[in-house]
Each structure stands twice: as C-alpha cells, then as structure tokens.
C-alpha cells in the first residue's frame, strides 16, 4: 500500500497550486481519502476529506472556500486545489487513507511521505 | 467543531517508565478516538483506533482506553524507539480534529 504526493513548491501569496496523490496497492475507490498538513513547528491539522465515491466532502474552516478536494478513481489519484494561498498555508501536506466505512471514515491508517508548500513573496 | 485537548504537551521519562498521555474531547465522541505516533522526519503512524484497538505490528506496550470525552494512551515500559510526538484525533465528526500533540523524550 503506497501513497505518493507531488505538486508542492514555493509560490507567492495569492497564487494557486494543485497537489496530487497517487495511490497503489489497494482498491482506491473503496476508501475515503484525506489531506492533513503540518505547519513548521506546529501539530497536525486535518485539511479535507472525500468519501470513496466522491459524494461527501468536507474542509477545515481555515481552508473552506479556498481549497478543493477531488479524486479520480480510475486513475487512483487524489487532488487538492489550493487557491488564494497565504503564508499561513505554508506547511507539509500529507495525503492519507481513511476507512472503507462510515464508522472509520477519518481513521487515517496509511500516509504518504508528504509534499512541502511554501507561500512567500 | 469538536476540540481535542491533550496533556501534557511534553514529558521526559526514563527508559522502562510507565507513561500516560491524556486526551479530552469537548463533547462526547463515544470511542471514536485514534492515536498517532509521529517521529521526527517520518510519516505519522496510526497506533490505536477506536480508543483501544491496537493496530497490527504495534508493540503491546502501547495501550489505549477511555470513552465519551476522556481518553488515555499508555506506554507500559518506555523504550528509546518511542521518542516521538503523539497525537490524538477524533473521528466522530468532521472536521476530524487532532489534539495539539505530546512530545515524549527520554530523560
């Protein structure tokens, strides 16, 4: 079971970025998927989650209206579109697998290595 | 949103000591509580789900307990490999909030 994030980088405030997460080793469309971030010197912060079929999604208040989560099940891929980025979004972004049922929807049992997003002028 | 409060924020203990980390939810979450271990430079690892269900491959010195609003992660005999920051996370509702973390060090 493997998750590999990509798409991070150094960007200016106000700009956009799209993160990707490639999944392998499990039946992707049977699991919820999430994004979690860790700002420098801070703890883990759940960012967004998406159900197995894409019907249900949610966001942390800190990113609601700016970030969009999506998935392409045939491509075994998860995405996070980050718009209107600010310095407060500077963080290490992890892709994580949730559970296959509603009771363990946000129990994160597999994590990717992460990708760094730095927002600075 | 459900707020998760961990204590202590850090602790230092000797090898072989029994260590306990507590996590309190701002409302009842039944047993929808997970514990993660995050070592420096590594990926977070799920240790315990459902408040007390030890994940496969996790040493038996780790245990979890509690329900409703109060939960505990216990390390029965602290080992050098346990140096990490530990996070609780509620999976009862969204957003799936984490506690602020407890940094565990060896004295």
**Residue range B6-53, pLDDT digits in tens:** 999 999 999 999 999 999 999 999 999 999 999 999 999 999 999 999
Strand locations in chain A (E): 2-6, 9-11, 17-24, 33-38, 44-50, 57-59, 67-72, 77-82, 91-97, 110-111, 115-119
- A67 Rama sector, left if φ>0, alpha if ψ -120 to 50, beta otherwise: beta
CB-facing half-sphere around the CA of B43: CA atoms within 13 A: 19
Q: Mean pLDDT across chain A, nearest whole number?
A: 96
Binary contact (B85, A43; C-beta < 8 A): yes
Q: How high is the pLDDT of residue B36?
A: 98
Instruction: Please report the pLDDT score of residue A100 as a whole number.
Output: 87
Distance CA B71, CA B22 (A): 6
What pLDDT does B1 receive? 92
For residue B38, give every residue at least 6 positions away whose Cβ sits within 8 Å of its Cβ, in sequence order, or none: A44, B44, B45, B84, B85, B86, B87, B101
Question: How many Å lie between the alpha carbon of A103 and the closest alpha carbon of chain B?
Answer: 8
How far is Cα B80 from Cα B90, in angstroms, rounded to an integer?
Answer: 27
Of B41, B26, B42, nearest to B88 (Cα)? B26
Residues of A in Cβ contact (< 8 Å) with B91: 104-107
A89 confidence band (pLDDT: 50, 70, 90) = very high
Q: How far does the CA of residue A46 sit from the closest CA of chain B (Å)?
A: 6
CA–CA min distance B76, chain A (Å): 23
Q: How far apart are CA B43 and CA B98, in angstroms?
A: 16
Provide, as residue numbers in chain A, all residues whose Cβ is less than 8 Å from the Cβ of B101.
43-44
pLDDT at B28: 97
Residue A69 dihedral angles phi and psi, to the nearest 5° = -95, 145
Percentage of chain B with pLDDT > 90? 97
User: Whose CA is closest to A3, among A19, A30, A33, A24?
Assistant: A24
Residues of chain B neighbouring A94 (CB-CB closer than 8 A): 43-44
What Å distances lie between residue A24 and A10, A49, A74, A76, A110, CA to CA? 27, 18, 12, 7, 11
Query: Closest Cα of chain B to A64: distance in Å?
Result: 11
Establish whether the linkage from the previous residue to B95 is cis, with ω within 30° of 0: yes
Among B87, B91, B100, the residue with its CB nearest the CB of A106 is B91
Say if the Cβ atoms of B89 and A112 lie within 8 Å. Answer: no
Mutate to test the interface with A, among B94, B99, B102, B103 (most CBs of A within 10 A): B94
pLDDT for position A103: 83
- Report the C-alpha gap between A16 and A117 in whole angstroms: 11
- Nearest CA of chain A to the CA of B90: how many Å? 8
d(CA A14, CA B93): 31
Residue A98 CA to residue A116 CA, distance in Å, equals: 21
pLDDT at A101 over 90: no
Contacts of A63 in chain B (CB under 8 A): none
- pLDDT bucket at B73, cuts 50 / 70 / 90: very high
Residues of B in contact with A60 (CB under 8 A): 95
pLDDT at site B89: 98
The string of pLDDT tens digits covering residues A25-75 is: 999 999 999 999 999 999 999 999 999 988 899 999 999 999 999 999 999
In chain A, which residues have their Cβ closer than 8 Å to the Cβ of B95?
Answer: 46, 58-61
């Amino acid at each position: 079971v493997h998750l590999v994030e990509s798409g991070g980088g150094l960007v200016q405030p106000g700009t956009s970025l799209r993160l990707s997460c490639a999944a392998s080793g499990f039946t992707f469309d049977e699991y919820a998927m999430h994004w979690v971030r860790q700002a420098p010197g801070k703890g883990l912060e759940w960012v967004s989650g998406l159900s197995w079929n894409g019907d249900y999604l949610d966001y942390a208040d800190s990113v609601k209206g700016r970030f969009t989560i999506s998935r392409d099940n045939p491509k075994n891929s998860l995405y996070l579109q980050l718009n209107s980025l600010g310095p407060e979004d500077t963080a290490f972004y992890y892709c994580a697998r949730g559970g296959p049922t509603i009771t363990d929807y946000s129990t994160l049992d597999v994590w990717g290595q992460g990708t760094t997003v730095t927002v600075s002028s | 949103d459900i707020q998760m409060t961990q204590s202590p924020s850090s602790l230092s203990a000797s090898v072989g000591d029994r260590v306990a980390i507590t996590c309190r939810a701002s409302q009842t979450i039944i047993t929808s509580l997970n514990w993660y271990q995050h070592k420096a430079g590594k990926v977070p690892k799920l240790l315990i789900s459902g408040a007390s269900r030890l994940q496969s491959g996790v040493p038996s010195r780790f245990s979890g307990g509690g329900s409703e609003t109060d939960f505990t992660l216990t390390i029965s005999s602290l080992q050098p490999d346990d140096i990490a920051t530990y996070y609780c996370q509620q999976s009862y509702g969204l957003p799936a909030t984490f506690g602020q973390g407890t940094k565990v060090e060896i004295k």
